[in-house]
Structure 1
């Protein structure tokens, strides 16, 4: 198996999971997250842990934009499955590095798809896409404002955003656009070449293994800010913007389900659903309850371009196709895990 972005949140969870299952896992990761986000985004610690803990793991510090290196690796390994998690993940940062963003997200994905077609055409190809393929379209849904959050105010979105939500005629951010290009290409390789490809359009994928930074991974970063007494900035929408959270373990179990019964050109929204949704104000309050600490925060009037006001995932399609899949980590479980890791490690220091 090949896992790209192997030292990131989902990639590292995948490496550990499949190593335990007895797969030989080759991880591709050149720590571009540190280049994108500085020391907060550095994943070297996770890479070192994988090399220490996973007996059959092999690390390859390859840039997925390097087509020759990717082709050479795939020709050597001929993987039984590909889990593609590597990305430039920030829609704010993309505007300052448009070529890097598109080349990593779109061209890098094309390199991996073509390498898979040439050297491992039967292998399931899993792509971690994003809900940002829908752009700011969800912001056009009528909303109701509550004390601590906004919510959808129409019955046909009571369960969240489904896969038939339109992706065009909307503002995506450059990051969203590059991920759309990759998403559509993954679908096309599945449909045109009859390959077993899937796009998982993720909401907030989270867990204590995340190297959260201000521009990506808000739940991880907000815990980091609270633990280290950093001031936190909320970007717009009164702090009432809502996201659903899905733990990396539950993401990997969805990957498992697809690998066991793959399809050609599949598309699924993947998140925690309404039950695992939380606003930033609610997050701050919950962190205070768990830690006894008061986070210092300010509210900026400027929301992030293309950002969602409310987004949570309608899981109906995936649950219909894979009825044995279940969410195992509730929103409270996720917060409790972050609290244990963030505040116990600080106390020990």
Structure 2
């Protein structure tokens, strides 16, 4: 199939592109390289250096590629940054996504797969693990922007017949995550430990997240090619792991000799979240396979090789 992947030079998107090409699909990538990297691009994918806010440029891509499926990974995805730049998050995550939806309608795209967030749309959870019926109450512009597009997908489905699947991601980690960024504690700790720098835990470290290896998230995207029409699906193990535990496991794997320093907690972040993926297991056949210890070891080995 002809598939357009936005954010295909990014952490998760580049892995999605690799898997699609391995399956024999014809893939085009749109990425503005604001956080994605050229070295992550699959050479067998056609690349368009483009911001999804550029509606005219996007239309040229749709006219040239005539995608049958759009896999939309591109987003600004930093909770802390979204609190500082809420308008930017509306422009990129909302307006950019609407540009893609409207072009999908105009050019007869068969299906739209959307990467949303289970870590941010629910807010501070009323119960755990949170399932898809949990009330939506994002605490930051990032989570709000992602949910806004979820509802627009529903409207495009009802009014224009666009098939779609929404995947609510947990805390995804693995190779190619940015060790110098503000998001992605596994990559940040790994980078700091391998460089011998002081690792800093924000707050008490008792915050819990549902950590899922990137390869398992890619598998959900592949399953969504022909399953899950009109559905919203949490991805996750259904249990949380504390930041202190992540630090301890990475310290053991890397041989890091320093103790963590605790800084102030970060505004806008939920304290504990984990996701009930029963629906994804039942309807998509998705089951995470890479456990935390194995995933952390793979990730550390990657950063040892690639820096």
- TM-score over 0.5 for the alignment? yes
Task: Name 2:220's counterpart in structure 1.
Answer: 254
Q: How many residues align?
A: 305
Q: SS of the counterpart of 2:96?
A: helix
Task: Name 1:85's counterpart in structure 2.
Answer: 73
Task: Name 1:287's counterpart in structure 2.
Answer: 250
From 5, 8, 15, give the equivalent of 2:7: 5
Aligned-pair distance for 1:190? Answer: 2.1
Task: Name 2:29's counterpart in structure 1.
Answer: 27
From 306, 314, 327, give the equivalent of 2:288: 327
Task: Name 2:47's counterpart in structure 1.
Answer: 59
From 110, 113, 132, give the equivalent of 1:163: 132
Q: SS of the counterpart of 2:224?
A: helix
Aligned-pair distance for 1:255? Answer: 1.5
Distance (Å, rounded) in 1 between the aligned partners of 2:100 and 2:296 = 35
Q: SS of the counterpart of 1:95?
A: helix
Aligned-pair distance for 1:137? Answer: 2.7
* 1:114-157 Cα shifts (integer Å, max 9, x gaps): 11111033x2211110124434331x55xxxxxxxxxxxxxxx3
Distance (Å, rounded) in 1 between the aligned partners of 2:143 and 2:38 = 27
TM-score (normalizing by structure 1): 0.82
Structure 2 residue 248 is the aligned partner of structure 1 residue 300? no
Gaps of 5+ in 1: 34-41, 142-156
Structure 2 residue 226 is the aligned partner of structure 1 residue 226? no
Aligned-pair distance for 1:235? Answer: 1.8
From 116, 125, 144, give the equivalent of 1:177: 144
Query: CA contact under 8 A between 1:90 and 1:216: conserved in structure 2?
Result: yes
RMSD (Å), alpha carbons = 1.8
TM-score (normalizing by structure 2): 0.93
Distance (Å, rounded) in 2 between the aligned partners of 1:311 and 1:327 = 17
Aligned-pair distance for 1:344? Answer: 5.1
- Give the 5 Å matches for 1:181-196: 181-196=148-163
Gaps of 5+ in 2: none
Query: Which structure features the higher share of helix residues?
Result: 1
Query: CA contact under 8 A between 1:225 and 1:295: conserved in structure 2?
Result: no
Are the structure 2 counterparts of residues 292 and 232 from structure 1 closer, same or farther at C-alpha, using a change threshold of 3 Å?
closer
